[in-house]
Structure 1
Amino acid sequence: MALPVGHPPVHTGNVGLLLVNLGSPDAPEPRAVRRYLDQFLSDPRVVEIPPLLWQPILKGVVLNVRPAKSAAKYALIWDRETNESPLRRITREQAELLQGAFGRQVIVRHAMRYGNPSMQSAVEALRAAGCDRICVAPLYPQYSGATTGSALDELFRILKGQRWQPAIRTLPPYHDHPAHIAALKASLEQSLSALDFEPERILLSFHGMPRRTLDLGDPYHCQCRKTARLLREAMGRSEAEMPIAFQSRFGKAEWLQPYTQPMAEEMARQGVKRLAVLTPGFSADCIETLEEIAMEVRDAFLTAGGNHFAALPCLNLSQPGMEMLRNILGEALSGWIA
C-alpha cells in the first residue's frame, strides 16, 4: 500500500544496541550538578520516600547544599580533554569500539539514565536509523531496582509514547556470567602485576544500597556476594584475603554492611599496611571509584596507619573488558544477527 503523500519513508531492518549507564552532570559546576542531582534524586526507584515528604527536603535542603560539594569532587576527576566525566567518556568509547563487532546491521549507541545523552534521544536515533529491534543493555553487572530497574522503567516510559514500537530485548544481570568473572580475573591479575607492592588484602567494594532494599526482596546484595565468591574462587584466594564491603552511603538510614571506608581504616589499625581496592560492581570508572575510593578511602587508610594503597581500575576499555562485552552482548543479540 502506498504511503500518503508527504509521509516520510520508513526505514526498517536494522538492529539497535543501546548501552546504558548511570550518568553524570554536563559540567563540573554547581548549576549542572544541581540539574543532574534533581533528576537522579527525584527518581522514586533511587529514593523510596513518598514524594510529598521527600521533595521539600530535596528542593529545600539537598539541592542547596550538595551541588557545590559534588561539583568540587567532579572537578578533581573531570576529563578536560573531552570535557566529559570519565563515566560518560568511557561508556561512549565502549559503544564506539563495539560498532561493527556484530555486523553492519547492528547500530550501537550509548545513553545515560540521568543526564546526557538521554535514553530518549538514543532510542529516537536508533528508530530513525531503521532499527525495528533494539537490545537495551544496562551496564550494571548486579541487578538492583535502583539501577537496572530504573533504566528499564525509563525505556518503557519512552516506548509508551510510540505508536510503532520496536521489538525489545534487555540484557540480564551478568554478575555470575563466566565471561564476566574471567574478565575480572584477567584485569585484576594485570593490575596487580603493575603495582610496585604486593597487597596484603584486596578489598572488593560494591556500591551501597539501603538495607531495606534487601529486606524488600532486591537481589543486589546476593548478586554482589556471588560475584565476590566466584572471583575469589577464580583467583584462589580466601574471603579473608578478599573481603567484601559497600561504599557511597547517603543519609542516616542503615545501608548494606560492612562499609568500605570504616573497614579500610580498621584494617590499617589492625596492622594491614598494603591494601588494594577493586570495584567489581562498576563497568567503568566514575566519581565513586576515582574520587571516593582513589582519594577519600586512600587518605583514610593511610591516615589510620597504612603504607601502600591502590585503587584498581574497572574493566573500562581493557581487552578483557571489551572481550567480555562482545561475548555477553553477542548472546543477547542471538537470533537477531547471523
Structure 2
Amino acid sequence: MARKAVVLFNLGGPDSLEAVQPFLYNLFMDPAIIRLPKPLRFLVAKLISSRRAPVAQEIYGHLGGSSPLLPQTEAQAAALKTALSDSNPVDEYEIFICMRYWHPLSAQTVQSVKSYGPDEIILVPLYPQYSSTTSASSLADWHGAAKSAQLEVPTATLCCYPLENGLISAYSTLIAEKIEGMDLSRTRILFSAHGLPQKIVDAGDPYQWQIEQTATGIVEKLARPELDWKICYQSRVGPLKWLQPSTDDEIAAAGAAGLSLVILPIAFVSEHSETLVELDIEYAELAKKSGVPHYKRVDTVGVSDDFIAGLADVVLRLTPGAVTSGQGGRICPGKFSDCALAS
C-alpha cells in the first residue's frame, strides 16, 4: 500500500472582516498578479489593499463576514477522498488543502503533508483552466515552501483539465436543469469567466483559449443547436485593458434585445464572493435594470458526482514526476508560451 497525499489548490478567502485587508495584501503582493519589482509591488499592494478593503468588507458582509471557499473546498476534499478510496482501495489517500492568499497557506500545508509522510504527492489545482495568475502561481508557491521544508517526495502535477469529461457533464446537467421550460429562442447562455488583463494573454497565457475549450465542450455536450451562447469576463479591476466582452456589457446587451439570461461561472468550481455576490446580487440587479426578462444563475459544480468522479479519474492516471493535463499531454497551441507544458 502506498500513502498518497493529494493537495487541492484554491484562491482562499478571508475568514473574518478583519482578515479582508491582509488577504487583499497577499493577493496584490503576488508577482503573478502585480508584475513589478518587489519594492514597487509592496507599495502598490499596500495602497490597493487599503483602498479596496472597505468595499470588499461590504461584499463579505453579504456572506456573513467571511468567505465560504474553505468549507466548500473541504467538502470537495472529503468527496474526492471517498471517490479515490473507492476506485483504488489498494492505496491510502489523504487530501490536503492549500490556499494561495489566506489560510491554510503553502508553508502550513507543506508541514502537514510532511508530517503525514507520503510516498507520493499529487498536486491538483481547483482551477480547470490554466493561467500564470492562478495555477502557476499556486504551484510555484508550493514548490518554494516544499524546498524550504526539505519535502522531497515524488510529485505528480495536474496543470489543467478544461475538457475533463466529468466537468463538462456536470455543467451540462446543471445548465439543462436551468433551461428546462424556457423559450430558447429568447434566451442566451453567458459563460462568465473571471477576467484577466489582455496583456497577460498577449504574453502567452492560455487561459482565454482554455475557457473557450470548456464552453465549446459544454455546448457540444448539450447538443442543442438552437442554443444562443457567448463567453464573457467579470471582475475587472484597475485601468488596464481586460479581456472582452465584459459580463456587465453582455447583460445590458441582452436586456436591450429582450433576451432572458442563464449565466454560468465557467472558471469556478466552488461558490465564493464572485458567484454569491457579484453574480447573484450585483449582476441580478443589473439584469433587472437592463430589462432582462428572466435571469438565472447556474450553480458551480461543487461536489457533484460527475465532477468529483472525473477529478478522481484524472488523479488516478497521473504519473509521479510529471506535469500533465487532464487530457494526458499538452493541449495548448504552441503560441501559448506560458503553458505549463511549454518546452
Q: Corresponding residue for 1:116?
A: 103
Please tell me the residue identity of whatever aligns with 1:36: F
Counterpart mapping for 1:130-169 below 5 A: 130-169=117-156
Structure 1, residues 156-197: CA drift from partner, whole Å, max 9, x if none? 10121133511111112100223322222123223444x888
**Are 1:290 and 2:276 matched, yes or no?**
yes
Q: Separation in 2 of the partners of 1:327 and 1:131?
A: 20
Please tell me the residue identity of whatever aligns with 1:144: S
The alpha-carbon deviation at position 211 of structure 1 amounts to: 0.0
The more displaced of 320-329 and 35-44 is 320-329
Say if 2:120 and 2:320, in contact at 8 Å, map to a contact too.
no
TM-score (norm 2): 0.85
Q: Separation in 2 of the partners of 1:94 and 1:242?
A: 29
The more displaced of 315-324 and 215-224 is 315-324
In 2 relative to 1, CA 331–190 (structure 1 residues): closer, same or farther, beyond 3 Å? farther
**Are 1:15 and 2:1 matched, yes or no?**
no
Please tell me the residue identity of whatever aligns with 2:96: R
Q: Separation in 2 of the partners of 1:164 and 1:238?
A: 51
Q: Separation in 2 of the partners of 1:239 and 1:18?
A: 41
Q: Separation in 1 of the partners of 2:120 and 2:7?
A: 11
Q: Separation in 1 of the partners of 2:52 and 2:100?
A: 20
Say if 1:21 and 1:112, in contact at 8 Å, map to a contact too.
yes
In 2 relative to 1, CA 207–189 (structure 1 residues): closer, same or farther, beyond 3 Å? same
Q: Secondary structure at the match of 1:293?
A: helix
Unaligned runs of 5+ in 2: 86-90, 322-343
Q: Corresponding residue for 1:92?
A: 74
Structure 1, residues 15-39: CA drift from partner, whole Å, max 9, x if none? 1001111110121x1x310110111
Please tell me the residue identity of whatever aligns with 2:270: A
In 2 relative to 1, CA 295–238 (structure 1 residues): closer, same or farther, beyond 3 Å? farther
Say if 1:14 and 1:106, in contact at 8 Å, map to a contact too.
yes
Please tell me the residue identity of whatever aligns with 1:161: S
The alpha-carbon deviation at position 252 of structure 1 amounts to: 0.5
In 2 relative to 1, CA 114–317 (structure 1 residues): closer, same or farther, beyond 3 Å? same
Q: Separation in 1 of the partners of 2:279 and 2:151?
A: 45
The alpha-carbon deviation at position 263 of structure 1 amounts to: 1.1
The alpha-carbon deviation at position 282 of structure 1 amounts to: 0.6
Say if 2:198 and 2:242, in contact at 8 Å, map to a contact too.
yes
The alpha-carbon deviation at position 318 of structure 1 amounts to: 1.9
Q: Secondary structure at the match of 1:263?
A: helix
**Are 1:222 and 2:209 matched, yes or no?**
yes
Say if 1:179 and 1:328, in contact at 8 Å, map to a contact too.
no
TM-score (norm 1): 0.86
Q: Separation in 1 of the partners of 2:258 and 2:14?
A: 39
Q: Corresponding residue for 1:5?
A: none
**Are 1:271 and 2:253 matched, yes or no?**
no
Q: 1:25 aligns with which of 14, 34, 37?
A: 14
Q: Separation in 1 of the partners of 2:200 and 2:141?
A: 20
**Are 1:256 and 2:243 matched, yes or no?**
yes
Q: Separation in 2 of the partners of 1:225 and 1:291?
A: 24
Q: Corresponding residue for 2:199?
A: 212
Structure 1, residues 81-126: CA drift from partner, whole Å, max 9, x if none? xxx5221111011111222433351111212111011222222212
Structure 1, residues 38-71: CA drift from partner, whole Å, max 9, x if none? 1111001012233343432332x32222111101
Please tell me the residue identity of whatever aligns with 2:246: Y
Say if 1:191 and 1:313, in contact at 8 Å, map to a contact too.
no
The more displaced of 243-252 and 68-77 is 68-77
